[in-house]
Each structure stands twice: as structure tokens, then as C-alpha cells.
Amino acid sequence: MDRVIINEVGLRDGLQNQPRLLGTTDKLQLARALQVAGLHHLELTSFVSPRAVPQMVDADAFSQAMFAAGAPAQDYAALVPNLRGYERARQHPYRELSAVVASTDSFNRRNINKDLESALQGVLALIERAHVDGLRLRVHLSGAMGCPYDGPQPVRHILALSERLLGAGADELVISDTIGAGHPRLARALLLPLLESFPADRLGLHLHDTRGLALPIALAGLELGLRRFDASVGGLGGCPYAPGATGNVATESLVYLCEREGLHTGVDLEALQEGIVVAGQLTGQELGAPVFRWMRSRTQSCN
Amino acid sequence: MDRVIINEVGLRDGLQNQPRLLGTTDKLQLARALQVAGLHHLELTSFVSPRAVPQMVDADAFSQAMFAAGAPAQDYAALVPNLRGYERARQHPYRELSAVVASTDSFNRRNINKDLESALQGVLALIERAHVDGLRLRVHLSGAMGCPYDGPQPVRHILALSERLLGAGADELVISDTIGAGHPRLARALLLPLLESFPADRLGLHLHDTRGLALPIALAGLELGLRRFDASVGGLGGCPYAPGATGNVATESLVYLCEREGLHTGVDLEALQEGIVVAGQLTGQELGAPVFRWMRSRTQSCN
């Protein structure tokens, strides 16, 4: 059975820029709806400063509540920006954590006030530490298909960064199209050389649908054998104040594409509708990709 | 130069179900905006009964006005449902016409009150007649990826119909996913066998984005060498009263995908924004694919 792993990041990437603060019980309600739909790989939160990301103020309380509910620990992940965040995350039985490094000096400076090389060193230290502790570490390479400050980056630069991270033992390198600047040809240009040296299950795609090419990029990835994708319920995410800053590729879109390609996600699209509705109610955003609107209407045009 | 032909069908398929009737001058304004953006292949209208499609009541007047404006005649096409429509279209200097046959008895009965075989015979007669008159005839196979009444159809059935039409000399067979039920795997299953017998330039794709897979299907088509696609400005189309009945794949999405794949459409996306705005104003619909919203905002997310 050819299985695709959908890493649901709605609770983390989807919420982090939402202006309406969700309580822990809200998040538990959303997580439950996602799990009922078969989404078992959930990135729950990030262990960042609540001053930087107020939505993550309950990172500990929410993690605790989720683990207390008794789901298998390997199903949950959390993002750790640095060693301090890592230590906080280690207070919980996470078996997998995510780290981030951005593709340029500018982007890393904006994110964590470090240049690229220092940011990279920080992540390399996290990889080492995680492996000492027996944890799986995913590394997101942010802005891998374009930097919000410096624009497009040379393919060889992204490849060199990717190879350093994978070579240093990152269990999964997630090519992250943070601003939705990518396209299938660029995805192939990045993935094909990496697949010469590393197996497909060490590579993932994190896509934003800013310009509408998230699904074509995902298809290009699937065709190359990639089976790990981040996605966000209903397309939750982005900055609601900035119309051009859109969310992750919608989980329902990605699930629908994968299933139609003959791949298995384990996600029940019918049941996922409830998760999209809950996410919309909690955030006050209008959510849902075309396949969701289609499922809600089931009206068919005839001409 | 690897060129993709975008057949803009907004004026025909995009408008035919719009409740607000556009006048001929409205249509001329929209056509002009599309041409300014480099869209030269325009399906202008259909020569149907105005009782059936009130929006096409000015098929003659609009055709006349467009040809009077002096554009090369090979840039314009019109849809003819039958021989009567064909005779009307022949009053104008069209060099290309489109015909339609649906994939099932049910769908043909609903459209033209004929069973599939009779509908097919009608189109075969149109092909013969068009060739006697020296015209190019495109044939849309409606519901080729699913029938609105009978659901999915066996691939071998669609292939048999396609082969009869191409074998009879249809200059282009347009695989039409009328209700947006298709997916890349189905597109490949239909296109690969046809491409064994017919060149890619005799095949086209007409996609609706009902469930969000129009662009992934288009990508699968591009990868197989297809270079002819219908599209509608801003995604205009569908039935505004039925939320699930969405329009054609948006021209701007398809252009953006093609250009990013390194193919040339001749369309200027910046200039096309005006066409999307005009189409929205004239129809009162909110139009525009993600790449349009992105162009309008140029705001970038950063996390």
C-alpha cells in the first residue's frame, strides 16, 4: 500500500498568525476533530516566546493535555526554535521535533536575529542533541523556493544547505515554500539532485498556496516519489491582515489529490469537513478549499 | 520556443450561465481587455437558441462587431450545437468552430434531446461539412472525466468515442472535464493511449476547477506534451446559483503555471488583471484565482 504521510500543521503554522487567540480547550476541540478524520501526525505547537507568538502561550498546557489524552506519542510533533525551546519540549513525551532554518541571512535575521551560518549551526546542534536523546528531528528549510526579503535563491545554494542538513543527520529535510513562490519545475530542480543521494522518505514538502501552485508542486513531488507533506486544515494560516499572505496548502486538497492519484493518506475526507468547520468557527476565518465547497454542495454543473 | 495555446472561453462558457445579461458593448469591452493582455484565441459565442441560452442572443451582432474590428479571423472561434448553428456561424468569417458531444446518453439527452449515437452522428456530419468548407473543427467531448448524471465512465468508453471523433477527422479533440470530476491519473489514462495514435496538437483539455484539481490535471497534460487548453478569465463560469458548479480553470492560473514550467503563452499576466476586473464588474461576480489576488496585494508572508 503506497502511503502518504500528511503532517497536519494547522494547530501550529495555521494558528500562529491568527489574531483571535484560541484557548487550550479550543485547540483540543480542533485536534480531536482532526484525529477523528484520521489525521494522526499533528504538529501541535511551537515552544517559542509567547511575546513573539502569543497564540503559542499554552504550548506546555496544550502538549500536556494532548499527551494526557493517551494518543501514541509518535503521532505528535512540536516546533523548537532553539535549544531553550528544545528543553521545554523535552518536558513532554514528544518523539519528534521540528527545527527551522531559513535560506538567507536576511530571513534568518528577521526570524531569530542570526545570520544564515549561525542559524545553521544552531540547527546542527539541535540535530546532534535530538539524536543523543533518541528523538526524530525534521528540519524545515524556510524560503527554499524564494525568500520574502531577497527573492529567488540559486538552486545550488538551496541544494548545498539541504545537503549539509541531511548529511548532518536531519531525519527529514522539509523543503519549505514559505511564501508560495515555488513551481513544479523548481521543485523538480531541487528534489531530483537530492534524491540521487538521499531516500525519498528523508524529504518532505511544506507548501503555501499563495499563488495557486501548491497542488501542482505537490503532484510533481508525488511523481518523484515524495510521500511526506505538511498541510493545514482548510488552508488555515497566513496573516489574516495581509491578503497576499495565505496559508498552507489545504489538507483536504492534498488528501483529495493523493487519493485520486491512487495513494493512501488514511484521512477520511467526509469526516474532515467537521475539522474545517471547527477551525473556521474558532478562528473566525472563512476556510476550505474547492473540494470542501464541492462536498458541502454536491451540486453539479451541467454545461 | 515551446508555446502553449490558451483558448479563452470566458466570453462563451464563462458567460453562458451568468444571470446578468451582458450587452454587446459589454462583451466588446471584455474582449478588448483580453486581447490587450495577449489572449488572441477567443471563443466568442455560441450559435444556440437564445431561449436556451439568453446570454448568447447577440451571437450575430457580437461576431459581426468583433470581425469588423479587424482582428485576424483565425483568432476567433464559436460554438455550434448543430447544423443550424453552423449555418448561422458561416455568415461570419470564422475559420474555426467548436462542436460538442457528451459522453453518455443521459447527458446528450439533457443537452440536445438525442442519445449518444445520434449526437455523435450529428458531430461527425459537422466535421465533414466543416472540412468541405475549409474550416477547422474542434470537438469537445463533454463529461469525459465524469458525467453529471451517470457519474464516472469507463476509460475504454471515452477512448472509443475519442478515437471515432479523431479518426473521422476532428481537427482537435478536447477532453472536457465539464463537472471537474477528473484527476491527473485519469487524465493520463485517457491521454496516453490517444497519444500513441494521434499527435499532441490534435488533443486539448477543457477543465473546470470544481474540486480544485484543474491545475494538477493541466500539469499532467503539459508533462505529456499537450499544448492546447481552454481557460476562462478569472475563473468566470459555472452557475452562480449553484455553489458547487464552478467555472473553467482560470486563465491567469493556467498562464502562470505554463510560464513557470518554462512554456510560453504570449499572455501578459500584469495586463490580464484588467480583464479580470472588467469581467468581475460586468458580471457582478467575485473573480480571480490566487495568483490574481497575489498580484493585487504583493504582500508576502514571512513565517
Residues paired with residue B177 on neighbouring β-strands, in sequence order: B207
Model-level pTM? 0.95
**Per-residue pLDDT tens for A179-234?**
999 999 999 999 999 999 999 999 999 999 999 999 999 999 999 999 999 999 99
Domain residues for B77? 5-297
What number of helices (H) and strands (E) belong to chain B? 11, 8
Q: Looking at CA atoms only, how far is residue B300 from chain A in angstroms?
A: 5
Does B112 reside within a domain? yes
Q: Which residues contact A15 (CB under 8 A, 6 or more apart)?
A: A22, A27, A55, A236, A237, A283
Does A57 reside within a domain? yes
Does A156 reside within a domain? no
Rounded distance between C-alpha atoms, residue A184 and residue A145, angstroms: 10
Provide, as residue numbers in chain A, all residues whose Cβ is less than 8 Å from the Cβ of B183.
257, 260-261
DSSP H helices in A140-289: 155-167, 184-197, 214-223, 251-260, 269-283
Count the domains in chain B.
1
Does B302 reside within a domain? no
Residue B302 is predicted with a pLDDT of 40
Does A15 reside within a domain? yes
Residue B264 is predicted with a pLDDT of 98
Does B179 reside within a domain? yes
Q: How does residue B246 score in pLDDT terms, banded at 50, 70 and 90?
A: confident
Taking an 8 Å cut-off on Cβ atoms, the answer to whether B243 and A209 are in contact is no
Does B303 reside within a domain? no
Residue A262: which of B188, B64, B247, B159 has the closest Cα?
Answer: B188
Q: Looking at CA atoms only, how far is residue A74 from chain B in angstroms?
A: 25
Q: Is B183 on the interface with A (CB under 8 A)?
A: yes
Residue B299 is predicted with a pLDDT of 44
Q: Is B257 on the interface with A (CB under 8 A)?
A: yes
Does A146 reside within a domain? no
Q: What is the mean pLDDT of residues B9-14?
A: 96
Residue B69: burial class (beta carbons within 10 Å; 0-12, 13-18, 19+): exposed
Q: Looking at CA atoms only, how far is residue A256 from chain B in angstroms?
A: 9
Q: How does residue B174 score in pLDDT terms, banded at 50, 70 and 90?
A: very high
Position B41 pLDDT exceeds 90: yes
Supply the mean pLDDT for chain A: 94
Rounded distance between C-alpha atoms, residue B112 and residue B100, angstroms: 10
**Per-residue pLDDT tens for A36-95?**
999 999 999 999 999 999 999 999 999 999 999 877 766 899 999 999 999 999 999 999
Residue A48 sits at the vertex; the CA angle it makes with A47 and A52, to the nearest 5 degrees, is 155
Query: Hey, which residues 261-300 in chain B have their CB within 8 Å of chain A?
Result: 261-262, 289-291, 293-294, 296-300
Provide, as residue numbers in chain B, all residues whose Cβ is less than 8 Å from the Cβ of A17.
301, 303
**Per-residue pLDDT tens for B248-294?**
999 999 999 999 999 999 999 999 999 999 999 999 999 999 999 99
Residue A269's CATH number: 3.20.20.70
Q: What is the mean pLDDT of residues B106-122?
A: 95
Residue B234 sits at the vertex; the CA angle it makes with B13 and B206, to the nearest 5 degrees, is 45
Position A302 pLDDT exceeds 50: no
